[in-house]
Structure 1
Amino acid sequence: MEFRELIGRRRMVRNYDPDRPVPAEVVDRLLDSAIRAPSAGFSQGWGFLVLERPADRDRFWSATTPVAADPDTERRSRWLTGMRRAPLIIVPHANRSAYLDRYAQPDKGWTDRDEARWPVPYWYVDTGFAALLMLLTVVDEGLGACFFGIPPERVEPYRAAFDVPDEFTPIGAITVGYRAADFRSPSLRRGRRPVDEVVHRGRWSP
């Protein structure tokens, strides 16, 4: 598949064929793509939790699904039903300490681990790069995926359910599987913003 075609075909998939597991070799290729993402100082401060067994996936949904009633119950129920059919969940995590430690080493010239030196938290940026490479690899493999966030109030239950160390922060989760009949997100009605609307050349103001 040509790269431009791959980018054009990438979308968030919210319903999967529950009877078609993701082959082990494909899972390995997704993770191999992830670790090829760029990272500041080659810190590679990420970690990936792979959930393939039904019991593990059920535990994930139990831990991360909000217990409060959603005002849009029907829409959320449809979303959750389709997402729970995914045979694979990968949770990318960022490790801030890996970056603070790396940049306190002699070749970087900083002598402390002061987070104020980081106006942008690259541990999240770089883990996002890794997640995107997985999403693109999914398309190349003929599968579908969806990146979504874990609600803030469910992060600690998630940590407890999977013994995630404190230094690792989940930046979201990715469901992966073979596509099933899906529905378009209402957000897509907004349309894609044109290049001329978001790009500023030379200076921001004309």
Structure 2
Amino acid sequence: MMAAMEFADVVSRRRMVRNYTDDPVDPVVVDRIVGNALRAPSAGFSQGWAFLRLDTPADVARFWAAATPLGKGSDGWSAGLRRAPVLIVPMSSKAAYLDRYAEPDKGWTDRDESRWTAPYWDIDAGMASLLMLLTVVDEGLGACFFGVPPERMADFRAAFGVPDEFRPIGVVSIGHRAPDRLSPSLRRGRRDLDAVVHRGRWDG
């Protein structure tokens, strides 16, 4: 096991990795990565998330067969991504949150979705995903968060028996880093604090 990094180093080194070697990932390490996802905050401690773990060659191949856009095979963007030996699909359950907030201690008497100012079921699953991404860096590995094309979602669900109650919010690929081309999006540069932090008032 590698020595843990300083937290600031983990944050600064986190980036999306789209190219991997064929080396396997220790299942114990995958256990830690997924286990840390359970430490994410969740509204009302609803914990309305689930994680589909695909860590065999057969399951990973089945994912790509089900999730690849129709008419496309392995292209320049996805070729390296497809070598990732582990895929984790985080999912959210809106029903778990609506049920939780209809319980007596939360003060609501119904499951009215209009009470929610934002879809916390997706937000919480996203925070769990970020904890996985940070843990991957701490383990000296690489990861990428990407989505399942909407037109392939039904095929993905059918391939893995995903219940209707759960919605996949993305996919986390995990593996050993290989030389990677930088995303063209990085040319935009990272926005600085003054551009995104508004102190006291938005126009202040």
What TM-score, normalized by structure 1, do the two folds share?
Answer: 0.95
Read off the aligned partner of 1:178 and give its amino acid letter: H
1:101 aligns with 99
Secondary structure of 2:79's partner? helix
> Which runs of structure 2 are paired with 1:57-206 in the superposition (5 Å)?
57-68=60-71, 77-206=75-204
| Residue 151 of structure 1, CA deviation | 1.1
CA distance in 1 between partners of 2:151 and 2:114 (Å)? 26
Q: Which amino acid aligns with 1:131?
A: S
Residue 175 of structure 1: SS of its match in structure 2? strand
Counterpart of 1:4 in structure 2 is: 8
In structure 1, distance between residues paired with 2:55 and 2:34: 14
* Alignment pair present for 1:41 and 2:37: no
Q: How far is the alpha carbon of 1:62 from its aligned partner? A: 1.0
1:51 alignment partner, one of 38, 50, 54: 54
Q: What is the DSSP-based 3-state SS (H/G/I as helix, E as strand, rest coil) of the residue aligned with 1:204?
A: coil
* Equivalent residue in structure 2 for 1:26, among 6, 24, 29: 29
Aligned residues: 200
- Shift of residue 4, structure 1, vs aligned partner: 0.7
User: Following superposition, which runs of at least 4 residues in structure 1 exceed 3 angstroms of deviation?
Assistant: none
Which amino acid in 2 is paired with 1:138?
Answer: V
Q: Which whole-Å CA distance do the structure 1 matches of 2:159 and 2:37 have between them?
A: 24
* Distance in 2 between residues matched to 1:68 and 1:42, nearest whole Å: 42
SS of the residue corresponding to residue 81 of structure 1 reads coil
Partner of 1:16: 20
Cα separation, 1, equivalents of 2:195 and 2:55? 42
AA partner of residue 58 (structure 1): A
Structure 1 gaps, min length 5: none
TM-score by length of 2: 0.96
Distance, in Å, in 2 between the alignment partners of 1:99 and 1:48 is 17
In 2, distance between residues paired with 1:52 and 1:79? 21
Q: Offset at 1:53?
A: 1.1
CA apart distance, 1:24? 1.1
- AA aligned opposite 1:62: A
Question: Structure 2: 5+ residue runs without aligned partners?
Answer: none
Deviation per residue, 1:132-156 (Å, 9 max, x gap): 0000000000000000011111111
Q: Distance in 2 between matches of 1:52 and 1:149?
A: 18
Amino acid at match of 1:182: D
Larger mean CA deviation between 60-69 and 40-49 belongs to: 60-69
The residue type paired with residue 27 of structure 1 is V
